[in-house]
A and B are shown apart, each in its own frame.
Chain A
Amino acid sequence: MKEKEIMVVCTHPDVLSTILRLVNSRLQWNATGASDFKEAYELGRKQLFDLVLIGAGLSDEEEAALISELGEAKCIRHYGGGSGLLYAEIEGALSHA
């Protein structure tokens, strides 16, 4: 089965690395991190992602701009950090993609 490409955006470096580690522990998912809006924006324009998790640290305007640029259907606001919600959040979003 083709890996799902997932971008994780979070300005908190430790939270970002934890989320990346957890997502990449699943064989069918491949996660790439972006540590700020600019990096996420440029990454999103260069590569096609199945899902973008917008984590903590972006302003409301940056979140809206990212969703607008990358397509709302595959962008979700992520809650909880590297927590027990992550898998349900991704499974739910991918099943509705």
Chain B
Amino acid sequence: MNTERQKSPTYILYKNDSRGTANHGWLKSFHTFSFGSYYNPERIRFGALRVFNDDFVEGGMGFGEHPHDNMEIISVPLEGLLEHKDSLGNTTLIKPGEIQVMSAGTGVYHTEYNKNRREPVKFLQIWIFPKTRNVHPRYDQLDFSSKLQQNKLLQILSHNKDDEGVWIHQDAWMNIGAFDRDHLIEYTLKKEQNGLFIFVIEGAIQIENYTLSTRDAIGVFGLSQVKATAIDNCKVLLIEVPPFLN
């Protein structure tokens, strides 16, 4: 397992059991970064990545109507069926193999409910700071399931509306992929100064001296290319973000 060194790279490990937790009965949430009543000054953000919540919502339950502004809000469902409604007039369903993005901009209201009354819904809630404030709010979602190939990363988000996946108001990229054991996972950053946040949805990977298991994550700065090895069958999500607000 190798990782190309350019300058002295920085690794920030986010172990599954070090995350903040919230248990509201209908919602169990694991916060990689400070969120809600979980406040850890050492865990505020990774570059422009501000929120990475691993949410479990009981059947038929969900987030009632609430507002947002000036944030790029991305949902990646892992299990179940999520119903989205917003003040832009969108009512949609979103399921695993899809990605949802909402640019809150000047202000938007939304609800997110578990459409299934019996089964829990599990999804990743990801917030990225926008590079431009007060944009016109917008919503989009994309089914990428037919493009997934085993042992290959698939880009599902970028900053460019003409590129693969959905787009947001930030120089960020998101890739997802499932890999067989012993397979090499390689990612070349689009911009050298950017950081890469790697989340293990399931399985295990090795990166440098770090072993990551299900729901562990690691942030890397200072590399132009990152290499990891699947040490078990795994599914990973990679997020490239600028190091600072711009």
A binds B: yes
Chain A contacts to B: CB under 8 angstroms? 10-12, 14-15, 18, 55-60, 63, 77-85, 87-88, 91-92, 95
Interface size class of B (residues with CB under 8 A): 20 to 34
- Nearest CB in chain B: distance from A7 CB, A: 16
Interface class of chain B by DSSP: loop
Among A63, A78, A82, A84, the one with the most B-chain Cβ atoms within 10 Å of its Cβ is A84
Interface residue from A63, A77, A80 paired with B68 (Cβ < 8 Å):
A80
Collect the chain B residues with CB atoms within 8 Å of residue A80's CB. 50, 68-71, 104, 127
Say yes or no: B39 contacts A87, CB within 8 Å: yes
Q: Mark B52-89, 1 if CB is under 8 A from A, else 0.
A: 00000000000000111111000000000000000000
Chain B contacts to A: CB under 8 angstroms? 34-37, 39, 41, 44, 50-51, 66-71, 104-107, 109, 127, 129-130, 133-134
- Nearest CB in chain B: distance from A36 CB, A: 13
- Nearest CB in chain B: distance from A31 CB, A: 16
Say yes or no: B44 contacts A88, CB within 8 Å: yes
Say yes or no: A14 contacts B51, CB within 8 Å: no
**Docked complex Cα distance between A18 and B50 (Å):** 21
